[in-house]
Amino acid sequence: MGYGGSTKKGGWVGGNQTAGKRSFKQKLQDDVAEAEKAALARAEREATADKKKLSLELLVEGYPGAFIDYFYLTHKDGIADDEPTDEELLARGIDPDTYEEREEVEQDKLLHLKENLQAIEGGKRAGDLEAIYSGTKNLGDYFTSVVNHRKAVFFYEKCLTLSSGELNNVSKQMESHLVLGKAHEKLGELGTAIHHLEAYEALTKTSGTVAQKKKADQFLVLAYNTQADRHEEDADVTGAIEFIFKCVGIAKRTQNSKTLGDAYARLAKAYKRLGDTAKSIEFGEMLRELCKESGDTEGEGRACHALAKTYQAMGEVDKAIENLEAFLQLSRSGEPTNLAKAYCSLGVIHTKLGNYAVAVEHFEKFFSISRALYTDPELQNIARVNLGVARGKLKLEGYIGAVKDDMVALLKWKGSRLPLPNC
């Protein structure tokens, strides 16, 4: 009896314990419920958060440094008393003429701002450099997201100082240089942007992944080309050439034929603008050879067309015609407008040489193609005019020949208005 009773009692206790345990499913459901409850509470807090309330919380919780930073960030358009320039406002999509000083931090991000400032100050007290970096980077990312790149730069600079100093973390140095380069590029400060992107690229050589190295090259090529554009706009062709050569260096190192081809094309045009036709032809020929090696017939055709213009400007007509004939052949299986350009260019050059019959032949083909391209009436008008001029010159040539060399025919024409020979 005692044994049986003991078993019965033990069974009752065991059953009670089983009833008190939660299954995995119940635990999961409870965890989800708790998470939803916490998310709801946070959402309600964010909805009711305001600057004054959160700033007072920072003081009450003992974060005076965060309180000061919070005040400036929620009351000014720049760090401390700096006001944004017209260029900075335009970069942020704001019309300077209608601009009024306003709060930059969105209502639902006030708590995010407070928490990160609090984390930064807490990290300083505890000597937690990772927490300081993370909070600072989060703030920079926030201001990047609201297109306030000047404020973003302020925080990213702090990230760079920390990562290259006390933290001594190469990965974070790379990250800081990259975001600073992109932010300065958005602000139109290309020189500073290039400085940071070059620093990022240098670090990727020793510590970066393949993807990071590729990203560095892509960003630098874009920045160099943009800087070259600016130099060209300022009529500083020599300055533009310097940055284009930087693209050549990256393209050769990475074996990127497209970037290299684009750079060769720009160099050919740049040297032509400087009046250095020999250099222009050198890079034009290099471009043509590069396109030929890679099987880019359309690119090779464009290179031939550009070379023809340069040779024609130099007075080397035979080489100009040779390149135009090559352009014509390369365009036969490609874009119809390129074929039209080839016939037109050949017609023009033969007209200048006085080969009117050949010019008419080319212009007739140019006109035929232009008529097939219904979407380009301007091209049709150019073709019509060129063909008319060439035909007129061909007829005039016949009349002048008759006047000079066939007096009998001229008298018959005068008397009967019969057509003159070759007209």
What gap in Å lies between CA 46 and CA 319, rounded to an integer?
Answer: 73
What gap in Å lies between CA 404 and CA 115, rounded to an integer?
Answer: 97
Domain ranges of the chain: 34-93+104-207
Amino acid at the residue 277: T
What gap in Å lies between CA 235 and CA 57, rounded to an integer?
Answer: 57
Provide the pLDDT for residue 357. Answer: 78
Per the confidence metrics, is the pTM higher than 0.85?
no
Provide the pLDDT for residue 114. Answer: 84
What gap in Å lies between CA 148 and CA 343, rounded to an integer?
Answer: 52
Q: What is the pLDDT along the chain (423 residues), one digit of tens a residue?
A: 333 443 443 333 334 444 456 677 787 777 778 877 777 666 555 544 566 677 667 666 777 777 777 777 776 544 434 556 666 666 655 666 654 444 456 666 788 888 888 899 899 999 999 999 999 999 999 999 888 899 999 999 999 999 999 999 999 999 999 999 999 999 999 999 999 999 999 999 999 999 999 999 999 999 999 999 999 999 999 999 999 999 999 999 999 999 999 999 999 999 999 999 999 999 999 999 999 999 999 999 999 999 999 998 888 999 999 999 999 898 887 778 788 888 878 877 777 787 777 777 777 777 777 777 655 556 555 655 555 555 555 555 554 454 455 555 545 545 555 443 443
What gap in Å lies between CA 31 and CA 161, rounded to an integer?
Answer: 41
Provide the pLDDT for residue 379. Answer: 53
Residue reference for tokens 């260019």? 345
What gap in Å lies between CA 37 and CA 35, rounded to an integer?
Answer: 5
Buried b (16+ CB within 10 A) or exposed e, 270-299: bbbeeeebebbbebbebbbebbeeeebbeb
Contact 264, 281 (CB under 8 A): no
Provide the pLDDT for residue 390. Answer: 54
User: What does the block give as tokens for 274?
Assistant: 């400087």
Buried b (16+ CB within 10 A) or exposed e, 20-32: eeeeeeeeeeeee
Provide the pLDDT for residue 100. Answer: 47
**CA-CA-CA-CA torsion sign (179, 63, 72, 162):** negative
What gap in Å lies between CA 228 and CA 240, rounded to an integer?
Answer: 4
CATH topology of domain 34-93+104-207: 1.25.40
Number of residues written out for the chain: 423
Contact 340, 369 (CB under 8 A): yes
Contact 92, 148 (CB under 8 A): yes
Provide the pLDDT for residue 89. Answer: 60
Provide the pLDDT for residue 168. Answer: 93
Provide the pLDDT for residue 421. Answer: 43
What gap in Å lies between CA 275 and CA 265, rounded to an integer?
Answer: 16
What gap in Å lies between CA 341 and CA 379, rounded to an integer?
Answer: 10
Contact 159, 174 (CB under 8 A): no
Q: Which of 256, 283, 251, 285 is nearest to 267 (CA)?
A: 283
Provide the pLDDT for residue 135. Answer: 95
Provide the pLDDT for residue 416. Answer: 53
